[in-house]
C-alpha cells in the first residue's frame, strides 16, 4: 500500500536555529496537509495545499514558519528561528481531491527544541 513519506523521523535542534521537514505524498494525491500534534492533543492544521497552491494557512505562524510545494508533489515545512514551544510532532497527510476521501498520514517528524 502506498504511504506518505516523511523525513527526518526525529530532529533535535537548539532554539533560534532553523529546521526543515520534508514530505512526499501518495502519488496522485493533489491535496497535501501539514499538521502539528502536541503531545496528548489532536493534530492541528498548519497549512493545506491544493497542487502547488496554498488553500489554507490561517493557523501557520508566518513570522517563523514557511511551507512550499513548488511542483505540486513533495513539500517542505521550515521553521526559522525555532522556539521551545515548537517542540511537537509534525505530521504530513495527503488525500485525493474529494470531500469523502480520507487523510493518509505519514509517521511524522518528532521535533525537540532545546
Partner 1 sequence: QQQVKQSPQSLIVQKGGISIINCAYENTAFDYFPWYQQFPGKGPALLIAIRPDVSEKKEGRFTISFNKSAKQFSLHIMDSQPGDSATYFCAARNTGGFKTIFGAGTRLFVKA
Does residue 73 belong to the site contacting partner 1 (CB under 8 A)?
no
State how beta strands 5-7 and 53-56 pair: unpaired
Select 41 or 80, whichever has its Cβ closest to partner 1: 41
SS3 84: helix
85: left (phi over 0), alpha (psi -120 to 50) or beta: alpha
Does residue 107 belong to the site contacting partner 1 (CB under 8 A)?
yes
Does residue 77 belong to the site contacting partner 1 (CB under 8 A)?
no
SS3 19: strand
Does residue 99 belong to the site contacting partner 1 (CB under 8 A)?
yes
Q: Enumerate binding residues for partner 1 (CB under 8 A).
A: 4, 31, 33, 40-45, 48, 55-56, 91, 93, 95, 97-108
Amino acid at each position: 500500500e502506498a504511504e506518505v513519506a516523511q523525513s527526518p523521523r526525529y530532529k533535535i535542534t537548539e532554539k533560534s536555529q532553523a529546521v526543515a521537514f520534508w514530505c512526499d505524498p501518495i502519488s496522485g494525491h493533489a491535496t497535501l496537509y501539514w499538521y502539528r500534534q502536541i503531545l496528548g492533543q489532536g493534530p492541528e492544521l498548519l497549512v493545506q495545499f491544493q497542487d502547488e497552491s496554498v488553500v489554507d494557512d490561517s493557523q501557520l505562524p508566518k513570522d517563523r514558519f514557511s511551507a512550499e510545494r513548488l511542483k505540486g508533489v513533495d513539500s517542505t515545512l521550515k521553521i526559522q528561528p525555532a522556539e521551545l514551544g515548537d517542540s511537537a510532532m509534525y505530521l504530513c497527510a495527503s488525500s485525493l481531491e474529494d470531500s469523502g476521501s480520507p487523510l493518509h498520514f505519514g509517521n511524522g517528524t518528532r521535533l525537540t527544541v532545546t
